[in-house]
Chains A and B, each alone.
Chain A
Amino acid sequence: MRPVDKKGESAVYQRVVLKNASPYHYMKVCLVLEDESTRLSAVDFKQFIITGLKSLFGEVGAALNFDLLKYNEETLSAILRVYSRGLVKLWSSLTLLGSYQNQACAFRVLQVSPFLLALTGNSRELQLD
């Protein structure tokens, strides 16, 4: 019976459209190293990205806040969270990171989204064979 009673008040329809309101952006990245046996801990990984930021954007860039939400040591892949304002800076410094401890490396940016949820359901990961 309760739902019926509530019908009057709960029938209020509300629609809100939020544009560019996302405070963060999320990136799924993967580090490819020349020597595949190299291991990086999560701290090393974040430190490495910060070095990249520092070389491209200097001390101001190195102070950019970003979070390493998830890190997989086996695959060297990670999910990063960054304030939307810093996305371009972070992304560009990832692109220009070319060497880790004198070996060639590259960051692959797999997916970027303003929603963390979107990273968990990427249909490009669907394997059917």
Chain B
Amino acid sequence: MSVDLDQTPRSLLVCDRSSFLDEKNRISSQVEQLHFNYKVSVLLPECSSAPSHLDSVLNSFSSFYLIRKLPIHELLDKHFLEMAVYQGSAYGVSYRTRIDEDNCVALMPNGRLCLTLDKDSFQLLGFEGKLSRFTHRTNSRYVVSVDLTDSSMAPGGRGYLRLLTGLRSRLHLKCDFLLSHHPGGGASLQPLLSHYDWSEHRPEISTHALTHLSCPAQLTSDLQSCDPHSFLEWLGAVDGDISSENSPSSFLSSFVCPEPKTTLSQALSISVCGLLLPQDVHRLIQEIRCYLEQPLLESWVSLTVHGFVDSPVSWGGSEHGVLRGGENFYTLLMFHDHTYHLHLATGAHDICPP
């Protein structure tokens, strides 16, 4: 037993390095595959106020809708399927449900409906599913993943009816649901919204100006990046407003900015929270690239996108769980010469990101 005390929980970090000019770069697919983005934060060095075009992109992030106590079988509603799922892409994820204890639901833009259920609910539902990767000896979970665009799941089809009766009459699954649609917005979701208590929300933007920020010097000098873990740690410290001015002998904290370091006289950290669409993130990345084309004091910008902790999927359709932290996020460090470093991190037992 004493051996286990030193064992570290598994962690996974993928570091990609490529260029936007490379035809084979997969940045757009990597961005689009993380469906449920909770927070985007951008760090602009040597910048005191956000450039207007960046600001306008941030303000034009699509709004999202919160439906309270939505019976999940409503997602199989014929009108809703026709208006939202078959056309464009609908993003939906259950809100205030914890994937390690509650039943969670996600509606993916490719028309897949993903339910992760505990054993009782799964047996009550009586629909085909498979055992979760995050099953524990005493607490087994099951994942039901159905493609709503499949012919068998067309309204009136066998699979459709079976799932519908399962959700409607046997398993009365209800939860608060966050919903967003691209490109239709609220209009496409109207069939669903009209019946229930809902509210529209705008992504919340907060701007934070920083002064005299110490920063790893490797970022600025050449492309030899510093150790990804210490870079992410530093970025986290900036994001979390954690002081890195500590002496090594300090009792409280010995955290310092990775060496060698320089000092930025000012920096701007912008963050957006809510259910954010990958399309919007993509637009933001393009805008930042334009911003980087200008002659600037510092030639890099970093962008971090956090996924929903309780989302049943992380990248693509790969299953996601919480365990300790439930992290699924990526950090994109963009440079003046169109190269970028991408760091993708997921939780302890998730499948490796693309």
Touch test A–B (CB under 8 Å): yes
Residues of A at under 8 Å CB distance from B? 2-4, 6-7, 10-26, 42-43, 46, 65, 67-71, 79, 81, 84-85, 87-89, 111-124, 126, 128
Chain A binding site: helix, strand, loop or mixed by DSSP?
Answer: mixed
**Chain A contacts of B233 at CB under 8 A?**
24, 115-117
Interface size class of B (residues with CB under 8 A): 35 or more
- With contacts A2-B337, A7-B21, A118-B329 taken as known, whether A19 is within 8 angstroms of B10 at the C-beta atoms is yes
CB–CB A111/B14 < 8 A: no
**Chain B contacts of A12 at CB under 8 A?**
17-18
**How far, in whole Å, are A89 and B236 apart by their CA atoms in the complex?**
24
Stretch at the interface among B113-121, B159-167, B180-188, B237-245: B237-245
- With contacts A15-B15, A24-B233, A112-B325 taken as known, whether A121 is within 8 angstroms of B38 at the C-beta atoms is yes
Residues of B at under 8 Å CB distance from A? 4-19, 21-22, 24-25, 38-39, 41, 66, 95, 98, 199, 201, 228-229, 232-233, 235-237, 239-243, 251-255, 273-274, 304, 306-311, 324-327, 329, 331, 337-339, 345, 352
With beta carbons under 8 angstroms apart, the residue of B11, B242, B308, B329 that contacts A70 is B242
CB–CB A116/B306 < 8 A: no
Which of B19, B236, B242 is packed against the most chain A CB atoms within 10 Å? B236
CB–CB B38/A14 < 8 A: no
CB–CB A115/B252 < 8 A: no
**Chain B contacts of A6 at CB under 8 A?**
337-338
**Chain A contacts of B251 at CB under 8 A?**
43, 46
**Chain B contacts of A3 at CB under 8 A?**
21, 337-338
